[in-house]
């Protein structure tokens, strides 16, 4: 049995040595410098072109971001209210969207003071100040809309999925072809231009 053990030990050592040599060669072939060594001039040109394109696209999107001036409030795909941010001073304006009758009756209240939150109804509380829009409070369970960072640029939005609410910032140019009777930038229709901002929508 002793010679058998010696033979087994020698075979195991040989296998291990072969395995170690194989792994060293494999690691050597996968080293980055070897990959770079086999790269052609066309590969370098392609990589440089992709990097330059990424830089130019980034600069383009950053420099062409437009600050929006109209805030739209929509529920279930239907626009309910518009807010002209040029009419909002450095002090915050609050907009309470209250859902009654399972969302069939929607009230939007506006105030320059923080509004009391309803206890028996679903709601979203929006604040607009100094060109930015935030979701101050909501009764939804996940609170994703409340945790969303403030928005201020054109086409940025805050969405509350449980309440089917979308707050979006739009450019004033989007409303130049406004149809008669549609809401104007301060949230009223042309037929209701003499009424108060506070009221019922929906």
SS3 sequence, 156-195?
CEEEECCCCEEEEEECHHHHCCCCCCCECCCCCEHHHCCC
From the CA atom positions of the chain, what is the Rg in Å? 32
DSSP 3-state assignment of 122?
Answer: strand
pLDDT per residue of the chain (202 residues) written in tens, 0 to 9: 434 444 445 556 655 656 665 566 556 655 555 555 556 777 778 788 888 888 887 776 666 555 568 999 999 999 999 999 888 878 899 999 999 887 788 999 999 999 999 988 999 999 999 889 999 999 999 999 999 999 988 889 999 999 999 999 998 887 764 543 345 444 444 444 333 334 333 3
């Amino acid at each position: 049995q002793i010679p058998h053990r010696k033979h087994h030990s020698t075979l195991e050592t040989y296998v291990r040595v072969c395995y170690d040599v194989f792994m060293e060669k494999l690691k050597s072939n996968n080293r980055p410098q070897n990959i770079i060594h086999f790269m052609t001039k066309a590969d370098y040109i392609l990589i440089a072109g992709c990097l330059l394109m990424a830089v130019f696209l980034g600069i383009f999107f950053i420099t062409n971001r437009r600050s929006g001036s109209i805030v739209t409030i929509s529920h279930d795909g239907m626009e309910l209210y518009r807010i002209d941010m040029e009419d909002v001073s450095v002090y915050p304006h609050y907009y309470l969207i209250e859902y009654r009758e399972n969302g069939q009756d929607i009230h939007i209240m506006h105030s320059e003071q923080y509004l009391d939150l309803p206890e028996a109804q679903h709601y979203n509380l929006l604040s607009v100040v100094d060109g930015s829009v935030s979701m101050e409070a909501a009764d939804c369970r996940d609170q994703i809309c409340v945790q969303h960072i403030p928005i201020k640029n054109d086409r940025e939005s805050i969405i509350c999925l449980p309440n089917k609410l979308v707050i979006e910032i739009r450019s004033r140019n989007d409303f130049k072809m406004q149809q008669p009777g549609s809401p104007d930038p301060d949230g009223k229709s042309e037929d209701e231009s003499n009424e108060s901002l506070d009221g019922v929508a929906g």
